[in-house]
Amino acid sequence: MASELVCFEPRCRERFAITEAIYNCRKCGGLLEAAYTNAIDPVALKRIWRERRMSNAAIDQSGVWRYRELIPFLDSEARIVTLREGNTPLLPAPKAAGYGGLERLVFKHQGFNPTGSFKDNGMTCGVAQALRLGMKRVACVSTGNTSASMAAYSSAAGLDPIIFIPNGNISYGKLAQALEYGARTLQVEANFDQILALVRVLADRLGIYLLNSINPFRIEGQKTIVIEMMDQRDWNPPDWIVLPGGNLGNTAAFGKALRELREHGFIDRIPRLAVIQAAGSAPFYDLVRRPDGSALVPVGHPETLATAIKIGDPVSWPKALHEVTSSGGVVEKVTEQEIADAKAVIGLCGIGCEPASAATLAGIRKLTAAGVIDRGADVVAVLTGNVLKDPDYIYRYHTGQLEMPDGAAIRATFGNAPTVVPNDAEKIAALLG
């Protein structure tokens, strides 16, 4: 089973052994992606993947490794550590559909993952590769879902997780998970980009494997979000797949999965990707709108309360640009108010999600109003993170206290504040009507 790493730049396409611990092309600095030459029989695999749902074997129960024939970068299944990631539901949401201007809408909820976000789909693969390379330590620069997921999977695998966080930029809900899962956490007095440069030097010197968003094996795992989605839909692709865009790794993964599924004959057409960014952190939105859109211009001070997509300089933009363009997709941006209200509507469906995830529904509402997405379209929106990731945001929204760092208030359009009542049955009965 031949697999290798290939430079993503069309003019370069340099190839590297799958066992090289590199994150960028050594020749041109471009992004790397895994490429395979194994034979694929879609008819047989569709049947085998269904049968694995009834298996008691750990790797069959994993919603990532169940599809291992499409992510065949390992030479031995013994390296796999699974917390039963993936296996996330498709949830119909009529109320959200109406709000989004659609006749029907289904959410694929990645917040059902072991650590509460889609990062688990990728992390099980990144950690498997770290073990295969004989690494003892893994690291990432993040205060968010990546560190929570890396901490869990690497501790489960007996590796040492190290998290580097920018000073004074801490998201407690997610950091708490990383601490609980045993990650050594280093707060550095520098910004994100400076720390990333520092960590790259340390990685080479100390033999640390980097599990940042640029890691090509995490992208391989995230492909299974779309593979599982198609499996759950009996291989009928929707018209649109809508997802939030931050570092754009997920956009890259979804596009690669769709291309490979079509190449191998699992699906007969590719859904259009709609990537939604927060207006205060939307360099990818700007890129696709510039007539000479050749290179991304980073946003110096990204602002959004949806911290998972607060990324000014997304690393995976060349891949994402290719995938959005070749799927006939679009990029939209939405305001903080739009995200907050859409999130409350997803909550009212009994589903709930973290702020970044709600950018999807806010984006759908805008795209249907503009006539880009049809009312009758078949749409799947991917909710990337669990509702409990950011309880502070929720409480503030419902009690009318949510505001931006500059003090700009966000209206509690669907506010649901708790009411203080006296210890008096008569009065409470009157209140409840």
**Residues at the interface with Zn ion (CB under 5 A):** 7, 9, 12, 14, 25, 27-28, 30
> Judged by CB, which is closer to ligand PLP: 162, or 276?
276
**CA–CA separation, 304 and 279 (whole Å):** 8
Question: Tokens 């949510």 appear where?
Answer: 402
Is residue 385 close enough to count as binding ligand PLP by CB under 6 A? yes
Task: Show the binding pattern over residues 203-242: x = contacts ligand PLP (CB under 6 A), - = does not.
Answer: ----------x-----------------------------
> Judged by CB, which is closer to Zn ion: 14, or 374?
14
> Judged by CB, which is closer to ligand PLP: 131, or 253?
253
Residue 207 Cβ vs ligand PLP, minimum distance, rounded to whole Å: 26
Is residue 119 close enough to count as binding ligand PLP by CB under 6 A? yes
Is residue 302 close enough to count as binding ligand PLP by CB under 6 A? no
Using CB under 6 A, pick the residue from 145, 147, 154, 327 that binds ligand PLP. Answer: 145
Give the pair of three-digit tokens for residue 400: 């009318």
Task: Return the one option of Zn ion, ligand PLP, none that residue 208 interacts with (CB less than 5 to 8 A, by type).
Answer: none
- From 52-60, 126-134, 193-201, 249-257, give the range in contact with ligand PLP by CB under 6 A: 249-257
* Per-residue buried b or exposed e for 53-70, using 16+ beta carbons within 10 Å of the residue's own CB: eeeeeeebbbbbbbbbbb
Nearest CA among 243, 266, 261, 252 for reference residue 220: 252
Task: Return the one option of Zn ion, ligand PLP, none that residue 354 interacts with (CB less than 5 to 8 A, by type).
Answer: ligand PLP
> Judged by CB, which is closer to Zn ion: 24, or 185?
24
Is residue 357 close enough to count as binding ligand PLP by CB under 6 A? yes
**CA–CA separation, 132 and 111 (whole Å):** 28
Binders of ligand PLP among 166-205, rule CB under 6 A? none
- From 31-39, 78-86, 126-134, 349-357, give the range in contact with ligand PLP by CB under 6 A: 349-357
Quick count: other Cβ atoms within 10 Å of Cβ 420? 5
Task: Return the one option of Zn ion, ligand PLP, none that residue 119 interacts with (CB less than 5 to 8 A, by type).
Answer: ligand PLP
Please give the full DSSP string across 54-115, using - where no structure is assigned.
T--SHHHHSTTGGGGGGS---S-GGG---S----PPEEE-HHHHHHTT-S--EEEEGGGSTT
Q: 49-55 — which CB contacts under 8 Å span 24+ positions?
A: 49/231, 50/231
Is residue 299 close enough to count as binding ligand PLP by CB under 6 A? no
Is residue 384 close enough to count as binding ligand PLP by CB under 6 A? yes
Angle ∠(121,164,30) on CA atoms, nearest 5: 65
> Judged by CB, which is closer to Zn ion: 6, or 151?
6
Is residue 165 close enough to count as binding ligand PLP by CB under 6 A? no
Q: Under rule CB under 6 A, how many of the chain's residues touch ligand PLP?
A: 20
Using CB under 6 A, pick the residue from 62, 88, 124, 250 that binds ligand PLP. Answer: 250
**CB-based contact 97:345 (threshold 8 Å):** no
Residue 213, phi then psi, degrees to nearest 5: -60, -20
Residues in contact with 406: Cβ distance below 8 Å, sequence separation at least 6, in sequence order: 303
Is residue 305 close enough to count as binding ligand PLP by CB under 6 A? no
**CA–CA separation, 275 and 260 (whole Å):** 20
Quick count: other Cβ atoms within 10 Å of Cβ 43? 9
Q: 59-63 — which CB contacts under 8 Å span 24+ positions?
A: 61/87, 62/86, 62/87, 62/124, 63/87, 63/88, 63/121, 63/224, 63/228
Is residue 245 close enough to count as binding ligand PLP by CB under 6 A? yes
Residue 175 Cβ vs Zn ion, minimum distance, rounded to whole Å: 35
Interface with ligand PLP (CB under 6 A): 117, 119, 144-145, 213, 244-251, 308-309, 354, 356-357, 384-385
